[in-house]
Chain A
Amino acid sequence: MERRKMGSNFSWQQELYAAADRIRYRVMEHTVKNNGGYLAQACSSAEIFATLYLNVLNLEKPEKPLESGAFTGVPGPANPNRQTGAIYNGKKSREYDRFFLSPTHYSLVLYATLIEAGRMAESALDNFNKDGSVVEMIGADHSPGMEIMTGSLGQGISQAAGIALARKLRKDTGRVVIFLSDGECQSGQFWEAVQAMSFHGLENVLAYVDINGYQCDGKTSTVMNLEPFHKRLEAFGARVYRIDGHNVEALAALGKLPPDGRPTFILCDTDPCRGIDILRKRIPKLHYVRFNSPEEREAYRQAYNEIMRSKAAGREL
């Protein structure tokens, strides 16, 4: 898939929408290729990721896209070669933001975003889900764009909060920006973290939550209700906004708010089938797309080709 040159004829909003589409369709391409994948997550969060990396996050500008290396072994006293995926987000400094992906089954969405942001080479994705590679299906602290261990849901926000406290103690001006998904907010640890971030006045935390309304067992409201989510968060002492998570203007504007003493949560209501209508047939089982038959896989391949044809024919980016 070609990443087109951004032209002056297009507004920044159009560029973000185009990048978001390339993110979700790249994930779709891999889902068909790998006979499965976390596709609905790309549909729901593509605009959030595109807006974060191309508009909101203040990160060091990349010199050139990085290739992906081989995994050099788990951290430990016997391994001096520990690696971090944070290098894809540029160097750390007082003024730069830090990004943390909490639900690591969104890894492929992040990888696709790193390509859009010119931070990871497109060819790095050839190693996706390959044995011995760091470009893992469910990434870890060595995977591109990641620097902490977050796949066990609920732990990401607490670790990021510890980092936010450290940055507050050091008087860093950069923020701690966290991406969360709605299902993990059912965990006790999530609420412990919000309570503690609010108690310790971590106003340098900015969290975007993808409320796509579905989790492994099905519709979130039937698995364990979170609503009224924004009111619950407010009651825990957070500053909360609730928006259409596909609206890049709203996503971008709320990413530039001055701090007010509280951690900020941007709750993003999203559609897990956005841009890929064929997914709607699978509702409510959207957590992971595993094709039930060669025919189904073929139908997704055709849907992908159709989308690519219409994109090529249209005047879209």
Chain B
Amino acid sequence: MEILKKVHANNLVKWAEDKPEVVVLSADLTGSTEVDLFRDTYPDRFFSMGIAEQNMLSWAGGLAREGYKPFVHTFAVFIYRRAYDQIAMSIAYPNLPVKMFGFLPGVTTPGGATHQAIEDVAVMRSLPNMTILECGDATDVESVLDVAYNIDGPVYIRMLRGEIPRLFPSSQPMEFGKSRILSEGNDLVLLTSGICTEEALRAAQALKSRGLAIHHRHISTLKPFHEEDILDAISQAKYGVITMENHTIIGGLGTIVAEKMAEAGIGRKLRRIGLRDTFVHGASKQYLMHEYGIDAWALIREIEDMTGNKLDIQSDELTAPFVVDVHSKAKVEAL
């Protein structure tokens, strides 16, 4: 697996070169959200807003009203938790093209509950006019810029940083409203988003060797969600569907799929892997994913339960996880 460093930092500078209307706003997390290179390259298009997110989000709305495309950068929690009313009234209601880059989604930070965005999809999804995208690898991080830029309205992005794997070829960019099909099969449908896709892929080979045919998709557009062919796949699946997300099971991918299935009248079992209505605490991503049951083992357990078959998968059958050093030089701090 190819591991890349500071993908967004370099890519944004290159991508924004011919887009003078793209400006970056930062709330004292410029290095931490990989916009330091943008700041140094285009100082006239970078605005330091301090630790004052409410003002920053409304201000971004004002800039967008005048034809600029503000790219707001900070940790995800500080966007939707600290400035929700501002996002709702200064940005979402008027449907303005403010692009919010939320870093450290879910358990990707050891920063503890204060830094872990575990219910952001649930919160932002209920806002009219809001589009929600989530990145799962380096290719997503690179190509999410075009997707977000071309949407005529506000976009909230669950972003990745530091050292990240490339799971999908760079020749296959993220597409708006279109999931990536990672495997085909009629036993069950597996829908994963963000870093959970990498976890699910760790178990793919072992599951296949047990004779399981899985229709696996990586979901990057969480809202709007109009993928009718996924519903077709679910209705044909022998055992049902499993969703897997780096988020609480309330209001995220699992809920989205549940709503769609109920509306379509699809009577299949749905199992939601995610944080089970709980906050988490400060620890490594790998530890939290295992402890709170959103890793490859959680998927295997869920499949065993759903199919009623013990799969007897051993540790050495799983692909090794890519573990980022907490003190990696690809990040400016240990968060």
Residues of chain A touching chain B, judged by Cβ–Cβ distance below 8 Å, are 74-77, 82, 141, 147-149, 151-152, 154-155, 158-167, 169-170, 188-189, 192-193, 195-196, 199-200
Contacts and interface: CB of A to CB of B under 8 A. Distances in A.
B50 A196 contact: yes
B94 A154 contact: no
Nearest to B94: A75
A162 B95 contact: no
Contacts of A74: 93, 128
Contacts, number: 108
Interface stretch (B62-70, B190-198, B227-235, B281-289): B62-70
15 contacts: A74-B93, A77-B95, A147-B65, A149-B93, A149-B94, A155-B89, A158-B59, A158-B86, A160-B62, A161-B59, A162-B64, A163-B63, A193-B58, A195-B52, A196-B49
Contacts of B54: 154-155, 158, 188-189, 192
Contacts of A159: 58-59, 61-62, 65, 90
- Residue with the highest number of chain A CB atoms closer than 10 Å, among B55, B65, B89: B55
Contacts of B95: 75-77, 82
A149 B90 contact: yes
A193 B55 contact: yes
A170 B23 CA distance: 14
A155 B90 CA distance: 7
Nearest to B20: A169
Contacts of B152: 77
Contacts of B89: 149, 151-152, 155
Contacts of B64: 162
B129 A155 contact: no
Contacts of A163: 62-63, 65-66
Contacts of A200: 47
Contacts of A152: 85, 89
Interface in B243-300: none
A196 B85 contact: no
Name the residue in B60, B89, B129 with the highest tally of chain A Cβ atoms < 10 Å from its Cβ: B89
B105 interface: no
Nearest to A188: B54
Centre residue among A141, A152, A166 by max chain B CB count within 10 A: A166
Nearest to A75: B95
Given A158-B57, A192-B54, A195-B50, 11 more contacts: A75-B94, A75-B95, A141-B94, A158-B58, A159-B61, A159-B90, A165-B59, A166-B66, A189-B55, A189-B58, A195-B52
Closest 4 CB pairs of A and B: A162-B62, A158-B58, A166-B66, A192-B55
A169 B54 CA distance: 22
B162 interface: no
A165 B63 contact: yes
A148 B65 contact: yes
A162 B96 CA distance: 13
Interface residues of B, number: 32
A134 B305 CA distance: 57
Contacts of B55: 158, 161, 189, 192-193, 195-196
A199 B49 CA distance: 9
Contact of B129 (A77, A141, A148, A164): A77
A179 to B, nearest CB: 16
Interface string B86-119: 1001100111000000000000000000000000
Contacts of B129: 75-77
Residue in B65, B68, B93 whose Cβ sees the most chain A Cβ within 10 Å = B65
Nearest to B59: A162
B52 A192 contact: yes
A165 B63 CA distance: 7
Contact of B58 (A151, A155, A166, A188): A155
Contacts of B85: 152, 155
Nearest to A165: B63
Contacts of A147: 65
Contact of B61 (A76, A148, A169): A148
A239 to B, nearest CB: 19
A168 to B, nearest CB: 10
Contacts of B68: 166, 169
Interface in B160-196: none
A76 B52 contact: no
Nearest to A77: B153
Contact of A166 (B49, B62, B94): B62
B51 to A, nearest CB: 9
A151 B85 CA distance: 11
Contacts of A160: 62
A192 B128 CA distance: 27
A224 B8 CA distance: 44
A276 B277 CA distance: 56
B62 A76 contact: no
Contact of A155 (B44, B70, B86): B86
Contacts of A189: 54-55, 58, 86
A162 B61 contact: yes
Nearest to B61: A159
A170 B44 CA distance: 12
Nearest to A142: B94
Contacts of B70: 162
Contact of B59 (A77, A167, A196): A196
Contacts of A75: 93-95, 129
B128 A76 contact: yes
Contacts of A188: 54
Nearest to B25: A162
Contacts of A169: 44, 68
A162 B62 CA distance: 4
Nearest to A147: B65
